Structure 1
Amino acid sequence: MKHLQLNNGMQFSWHHTNLEVVHIGLYIKAGTIDEYHYPPGIAHFIEHMVFKGTNKFSFQELSEKIDALGGELNAYTTKTYTCYTIKTLKRFEAEAIELLEEMVFHATFPPEEIEKERQVILEEIKMIEDDDEERAFEQFESELFKGTVFSTPILGTAESVNAITRNMLQSFYYQFYQANNMILSYVGTNEQQIKKIFQQIDCSHSVTHHDKEFKVNHVNIEHHKESMEQAHVILAHEGIGYLDEQSAVYEIINNFYGGSMTSFLFRKLRESLGLCYALYSSVDAYKEGGVLYTYFATDAKNITRCLEEINKIHNELAQGINMQLLTKTQHYLVTNLYMNLDYDGSIMEHMGKSLMLYNKIYEIEALEQKIMNVTLDEVNNALKLFEKAYASYRIY
């Protein structure tokens, strides 16, 4: 895995493969948290619009050229970045790269396509509203992070999406879709050609990012919804940012707490008591801070029992774990680390995200060392977080 910075400021990483399939990812450091003076959902709206026409191609021409590649061209938006990916045969990668460059840097935002896509996004929002788990997290985070840019739903709301104009789309696009605000990650055989294409792109201005305020509000929210088969409950403990030296500690805690089939949550609530089918913990880490989530779905009459058992687990973990459990968890995470990078698409994603988050590519050996260097004292000190009150959300 190698990388360099092109003359226009774009970060370029590459990894050689002997396979016929190539993977290309273009990461733009612009997501929901950058929407400040724009209606919520505009970053996601732009992700849709780059597929809807460019200087060279109409929407129909662009669609036909994408289909002709016979591969996969996808995109997604997060709170902190937007990503466009291509997976295709190396015999088609020249055309694929030219299409990606044309779409990302020369989108035209045709008015008629904006209105069509606005309706598509409104339908996407309705789909989220029908997904009780996703909707629960969205509603919870709107209050959990209230007063900060982290509270905004990625898709926006029906009201905010309807307020987005073509001028707004072009303004956000011009502000953030600059080469010096991007990372190009490539796994293939012709990195020189890729480099040549993208280093010719000019920057009209330098993109700067400012630290955002991050805070976790200690809210306790209850919602009632008719005709629900299950209650959905989320708990949130304040965590740490991904740049914190203790980030690997929280990764370890998350795994033995609720991140695997032998975790405390899984063994107690599902295997022992049979109270839940869906339950897990997860860590969301940003530059400015993070959250350790606990999620479970159960019959509404079991909510209190589940919370009682979870609180017992919290109390037990706050007393600390032993070296045997720590070593087992470290080995589990290291094995998964190597297994996850046993695929070119994952290598492409790893390089792109590593450069975006840390401004360097973490070699797999360094990540292994980071996990194995975590001490029992570090874990047990961090487990004191379970002594603190948590925010909660429930819908039933």
Structure 2
Amino acid sequence: MEYNVHTLKNGIRILHVPAASAISHACILVNAGSRDEEDAQMGLAHFIEHLIFKRTEKRNTNQILNRLESVGADLNAYTTKEYTCVHASFLHPYLDRTLELFNDIVFHSTFPEDEMEKEKGVVLDEIASYLDQPEEAINDDFEDILFRGHAFGRNILGTPDTVNGLSRENIIAFIKQNYRTDQIIVAVLGNYALNKVVKIAEKHFAEVPANNAQSKRLAPELNAPVQQVIDKQIAQSHCMLGVQTYSLHHPYKTGLLLLNNLFGGNGMSSILNLQLREKYGIAYTIESAYSPLSDTGIFAIYFGTDKEKAEKAIKLIQKEMNKLKQKPLTALQLHKAQNKFIGQIALGEENRIGLIIAMAKSLLDYNQIDSLEVVFDKIRKVSVEDMTNIINEVFDESKWTSLLFNPVEG
């Protein structure tokens, strides 16, 4: 897809993606997330994401929320381990209104003490709700084990103790250290000329003071594998198995994305779904996921099943991994997997808000955005030898960590 990048004097980059549609999409992506928090401040990045909607120098909460909703637009935000993102979908005439609001909430929020105390209660409820969902909670507990001793292991929401301890001073210091202007992308997808997008972006973001603070991020070390069982008062067993693996910049990243899609990714025809769900009826939910990060990655498998079936499910997963190790993919199998993955990526382009966020992330991570043709070419260039090497490395069970939530009565 065609795109243009314009860099403001303060380092903020404006990404323009032309698209012939009455619906436009925009985001502001900041390269700051939960991995950038101090140990005692778990949940701070996520807490800031909540608070920017509460009060700015010129708007109260209702005015912030109604600024776009009053014209039928959708405004939302999220926090990950490495990013904070505010995004909106809106009708074509409201680009100026949207970017002005982005500027207001990201750079002019006031973080008043009364709003902080109210929002702490909201976040504490969110934490409690999350803990009540074992299929969600196990992911955080698993990553805590996998990355123990490193910020990647922290729960993005924080804990009740850390959230209650957060202060306005913590917020100001975090933003000063981590909201670096050369690590901020303002992205717009819509039926606009480049000069119009640049003009509106200059109007709202050119006066943001440059922030050139140095990143304090440290790459995680590889921890020894751990097998852990936790008894919980839940109805089913929940299990995660996985390993720390390739980063965003590793040459095998594309190959592992392809392997993940084949093994337990999207669609009902994945190897794990066909075996555990369709053939044996063991698990309603069985899936794998590969999450490449800036300096590491996570490959993990999750399933939920009845307690008495958990051991068999694990053995079946191991059996399927060993089959791929012992009998490499043929050229025909690889070709089919490549075509499936390429088709899914092409269909994903229809999600325009997801597309513009993905393009903004690519610009942050690689300082460039590959066209679909380039992406497809990378997938097609993954060889049988590459896949064999990836399978042997990633499916080395001696390196795998596992976590099982075991249901108990009482």
TM-score normalised over the length of structure 2: 0.93
Residue 387 (str. 1) matches residue 396 (str. 2): yes
Distance across 1 between alignment mates of 2:40 and 2:8: 30
Structure 1 counterpart of 2:133: 131
SS of residue in 2 equivalent to 1:224:
strand
Give 1:1-396 correspondences, 5 Å limit: 1-36=3-38, 39-188=41-190, 189=192, 190-217=196-223, 218-226=225-233, 228-259=234-265, 260-319=267-326, 320-385=328-393, 386-389=395-398, 390-396=400-406
Distance in 2 of aligned mates of 1:137 and 1:173: 27
Instruction: Give the stretch that moved more between structures: 209-218 or 324-333.
Output: 209-218
The Cα offsets for residues 69-121 of structure 1, whole Å up to 9 and x where unpaired, read as 32111000000010000111122222222111111110001111111001000
Q: Residue 37 of structure 1: CA displacement?
A: 5.6
Cα distance in 2 for residues equivalent to 1:251 and 1:63: 37
Question: In structure 2, how many angstroms separate the alpha carbons of the residues matched to 1:36 and 1:369?
Answer: 41
Structure 2: segments with no counterpart, 5+ residues: none
Q: 3-state SS of the aligned residue for 1:221? A: strand
**Contact map agreement 1:69 1:96 (CA 8 A) in 2:** no
| Residues 27 and 183, structure 1, Cα contact 8 Å, conserved in 2 | yes
Contact 1:23 1:87 in 2 (8 A): yes
User: Secondary structure in 1 aligned to 2:72?
Assistant: coil
Counterpart of 2:339, as a letter, is: H
- Alpha-carbon distance, 1:13 to partner: 0.9
Amino acid at match of 1:283: Y
Q: Quick check: 1:179–1:201 contact (8 Å CA) kept in 2?
A: no
Query: Is the contact between residue 28 and residue 185 of structure 2 (CA under 8 Å) also seen in structure 1?
Result: yes
Cα shift at 1:292:
1.1
Give the direction of change, closer, same or farther, for the CA distance of 1:167–1:288 in structure 2 (3 Å limit): same
SS of aligned partner of 1:280 = strand
Instruction: State how far apart, in whole Å, the 2-side matches of 1:64 and 1:262 are.
Output: 44
Write the deviation string for residues 237-287 of structure 1: whole angstroms up to 9, x where unpaired: 232111001101101111111114222211111111110110000001112
Deviation at 1:177, TM superposition (A): 2.8
The residue type equivalent to 1:378 in the other structure is D
Indicate how the Cα distance of structure 1 residues 28 and 158 shifts in structure 2: closer, same or farther if over 3 A, else same. Answer: same
Any conservation in 1 of the 2:99–2:201 contact (CA below 8 Å)? no
Give the number of equivalent residue pairs: 395
Structure 1, unpaired ranges of 5+: none
Q: Distance in 2 between matches of 1:12 and 1:64?
A: 25
Per the TM alignment, residue 341 of structure 1 is displaced from its structure 2 partner at its CA by 1.2
Post-superposition Cα deviations, 1:136-174, rounded to whole Å, max 9, x if no partner, equal 111111121101111110000001000101111122123
Distance 1:159 1:38, change over 3 A: closer
Q: Is the 8 A contact 1:12 1:183 kept in 2?
A: yes
Alpha-carbon distance in 1 for matches of 2:122, 2:217 = 33
> What's the CA shift for 1:178?
4.1
